[in-house]
């Protein structure tokens, strides 16, 4: 399946958009590795990278929210925390069962669907708010 970057995912801030593009790219690497039956090491390295990258990306967004007193900070942060918990499920399943179709299905269900919805529904609001603050 995978996830493709389209203009609808742009939040209008280059730093955040570039981080989202990198997330899309790495998710596709993970899905391709699983679909092609690549070794546990490659899939594991990609999951580890994604886990760290997501935490860094969320941290970057949350610093901006705090800096500019974003009124939706707490619900936005809660979404991030819920995602990290869900992503942990993928990592646990991978560690138990290794790479395979189940990782592809979980990644599409947990990561791809969540990320698309989060960017369109939540991050675009943050982007509009931050653009307003940064243009002053």
Render 44-93 in DSSP notation, one character per residue.
HHHHHHHHHHHHHHHHHHHHHHHHTT-TTHHHHHHHHHHHHHHHHHHHHH
pTM for this one?
0.85
Chain mean pLDDT for the chain: 88
> Residue 12: is its pLDDT beyond 80?
yes
Structure tokens, 48: 């580890």
The dihedral over CA atoms of 106, 110, 112, 115, expressed in degrees to the nearest 10, equals -170
| Predicted pLDDT of residue 66 | 97
| Predicted pLDDT of residue 1 | 56
> Residue 72: is its pLDDT beyond 70?
yes
Domain 11-134 fold is: 1.20.120
> Residue 36: is its pLDDT beyond 80?
no
For helices 40-67 and 73-97, the axis angle rounded to 10 degrees is 170
Please write the tens of the pLDDT for every residue from 78-134: 999 999 988 888 889 888 888 777 877 888 888 888 889 999 999 999 999 999 988
| Predicted pLDDT of residue 39 | 61
Structure tokens, 114: 């969540």
């Amino acid at each position: 399946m995978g996830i493709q970057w389209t203009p609808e995912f742009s939040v209008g801030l280059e730093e955040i958009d570039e981080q989202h593009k990198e997330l899309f790219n790495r998710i596709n690497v993970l899905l391709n590795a699983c679909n092609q039956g690549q070794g546990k090491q490659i899939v594991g390295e990609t999951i580890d990278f994604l886990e760290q990258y997501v935490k860094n990306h969320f941290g970057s967004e949350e610093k901006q929210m705090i800096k500019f007193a974003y009124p939706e900070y707490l619900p936005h942060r809660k979404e991030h925390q819920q995602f990290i918990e869900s992503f942990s499920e993928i990592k646990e399943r991978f560690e138990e069962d290794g790479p395979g179709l189940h990782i592809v299905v979980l990644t599409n269900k947990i990561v791809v669907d969540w990320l698309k919805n989060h960017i369109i529904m939540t991050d675009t609001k943050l982007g509009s708010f931050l653009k307003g603050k940064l243009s002053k």
